[in-house]
Amino acid sequence: MAATLTVYGMDDTPRGKLLSAAARLFRVQGYDRTTVRDIAAAVGIQSGSIFHHFASKEDILFAVTMEVIRFNTERMRLATEGVADPEQRLRGLIRAELQSIVGDTQEAMIVLVRDWRCLADDKQKEALAVRAVYEGYWMQALNDLQVEGRLDADPMVMRRLINGMTSWTSNWFDADGSLDMDGLTEVILQRAVTANGGTSA
């Protein structure tokens, strides 16, 4: 089992502990099936006490969502900053996204993909706006790769296909299996770049 989330807002304050517990419960049973009583019990308080920290149950989901998006956007920035070669940048992005989905933030990422439609429309939009920065790193790398003639398909379509491959790993990837995360990164990368290019470092 991966270590507990260490995303910004999820520290050992009461609020942070609630967020971590909620993320785990949301992952295991889904947002709707998780009751505020479940969350309260997980951190050892009464159900009513939760509303001292959050305005509503949906607010907890929203907080989890935003924290994780922000955390992973920063992760994508770190994965690409100072890297000139677009293929290397793409490799870093794939590796980082896999890390999010089957690694340290997997609890919350699964919730993000599955339950984000439980949020009210305006909160969905707010989340999408922040997410746009995240996608920006991807499009930058893929567009650059295309300019060099090393991309195998339309950048936007390619991003969607990669996103599908990485997201789906939460359903099958086994960290103890014969294929590790670096190996999987290479396999996915080879789906995107043309075989001819030998320029990569």
Partner DNA sequence: CTTTACAAACCAAGCGCTTGCTTGGTAGCT
Partner DNA sequence: AGCTACCAAGCAAGCGCTTGGTTTGTAAAG
Q: How far is the CB of 11 from a copy of itself (least distance, A)?
A: 30
Find the part of the chain contacting a copy of itself (CB under 8 A) among 10-18, 44-52, 90-98, 160-168. Answer: 160-168
Site for a copy of itself in 107-126 (CB under 8 A): 114, 117-118
Beta carbon nearer to DNA, 78 or 120: 120
C-alpha–C-alpha distance, residues 58 and 123, integer Å: 10
- State yes or no: residue 146 binds a copy of itself (CB under 8 A): no
CB 199 within 8 A of CB 176: no
Query: Measured in Å, how far apart are the chain's first and last C-alpha atoms?
Result: 34
Cα–Cα distance for residue pair 160/147, rounded to 1 Å: 19
195 binds, among a copy of itself, DNA, none (CB under 5 to 8 A by kind): a copy of itself
Q: What does each C-alpha distance from 128 to 66, 93, 117 come to in angstroms?
A: 10, 19, 11
Give the DSSP letter of residue 56.
S
Q: Which of these ranges, 57-65, 70-78, 129-137, 155-163, lies near a copy of itself under the rule CB under 8 A?
A: 155-163
Q: Could you say whether residue 180 binds a copy of itself (CB under 8 A)?
A: no
* 2, 6, 28, 51: residue in contact with DNA (rule CB under 7 A): 51
In this structure, what DSSP letter does residue 50 have? Answer: G
Q: Is 193 helix (H, G, I), strand (E, B) or coil?
A: strand
- The closest of 86, 65, 71, 73 to 134, measured between CA atoms, is 73
How far apart are CB 195 and a copy of itself at their closest, in Å?
A: 6
**Token pair in block for residue 12:** 């050992």
Adjacent-strand bridge partners of 193: 151
The verdict on 29 binding DNA (CB under 7 A) reads no
Interacting residues toward DNA by CB under 7 A: 13-15, 34-37, 40, 44-49, 51-53, 56-58
Interacting residues toward a copy of itself by CB under 8 A: 30, 32-33, 114, 117-118, 152-154, 157, 160-161, 163-169, 171-172, 179, 184, 187-188, 190-191, 195
